[in-house]
Amino acid sequence: MRGEGLDLYQYESDTELIHKINSMELKAWIANLHFIRKELSKIIEICVQQFKEKSSFIEVGKKFEKKEVENENILKALNGYSNNRSIISECDNLHCDMAFIREHEMYRKSYVYHLEKYWNLKEDFYNRLKDSLVG
């Protein structure tokens, strides 16, 4: 996050600092999902165009298409969540702050789960690619 210095002393409370860090993390997630969107498009194109005769690549291509839909759904949810975070400054009690923190943790788990599944799918794709080039 270039240009977004994190001066720990400018925050009045630990809760404000947590909200700032969570906001920065959310921006990084969204940027990463935009990159994954581009990457998925290219991988799907490779599966469809270059390996249209190989059933194993057709199968994995369909999995990537499903992952593309999931990526868009998570991206949409995170963008909506990002817009809702604009009211954090209106929180005037710990209950409100904790609701935002719990919500962030829920989105973090969803994001990490999505990434892990995506990485596993890419690993499967690269293994198939390696096998098709070697054998």
Answer whether residue 97 is part of any domain. Answer: yes
Q: How far is it, in rounded angstroms, from Cα 100 to Cα 85?
A: 8
Answer whether residue 100 is part of any domain. Answer: yes
Answer whether residue 47 is part of any domain. Answer: yes
Q: How far is it, in rounded angstroms, from Cα 124 to Cα 135?
A: 16
The reported pLDDT for the residue numbered 1 is: 43
Answer whether residue 70 is part of any domain. Answer: yes
Answer whether residue 126 is part of any domain. Answer: yes
The reported pLDDT for the residue numbered 104 is: 96
Contact 19, 88 (CB under 8 A): yes
Answer whether residue 86 is part of any domain. Answer: yes
**DSSP state, 6?**
-
The reported pLDDT for the residue numbered 7 is: 60
- pLDDT beneath 70: ranges in the chain: 1-11, 135
Domain region containing 105: 15-134
Measured N-to-C along each axis, helices 14-45 and 55-84 cross at an angle, to the nearest 10 degrees, of 150
The reported pLDDT for the residue numbered 40 is: 97
Q: How many CB atoms lie within 10 A of CB 71?
A: 20
The reported pLDDT for the residue numbered 16 is: 85
Answer whether residue 1 is part of any domain. Answer: no
Instruction: Tally the residues of the chain.
Output: 135
As for how many domains the chain has, the answer is 1
Answer whether residue 120 is part of any domain. Answer: yes
Q: How far is it, in rounded angstroms, from Cα 126 to Cα 71?
A: 20
